[in-house]
Amino acid sequence: MRRFAVVLAAAWAMFVSTAAIAEDVNADAEAVKKVVESAYVKGIHIDRDVEAVRAGFNPAFVMFRLEKGVVTQMTIDEWIAGIEKSKKERPGPLPQKTTHEFSMVDVTGDAAVARVELYKDGKHVFTDYISLYRLADGWKIVGKIYYRHP
Residue stretches of the chain with pLDDT short of 70: 1-23, 25
Q: What is the pLDDT of residue 24?
A: 75
Residues 6 or more apart whose Cβ sits within 8 Å of residue 89: none
Q: What is the pLDDT of residues 64-85, one digit of tens each?
A: 999 999 999 999 999 999 999 9
Q: What is the pLDDT of residue 62?
A: 98
Query: Do 62 and 143 touch, CB atoms closer than 8 A?
Result: yes
Q: What is the pLDDT of residue 17?
A: 46
Q: What is the pLDDT of residue 94?
A: 80
**Pairing of the two strands 111-120 and 98-108:** antiparallel
Q: What is the pLDDT of residue 92?
A: 74
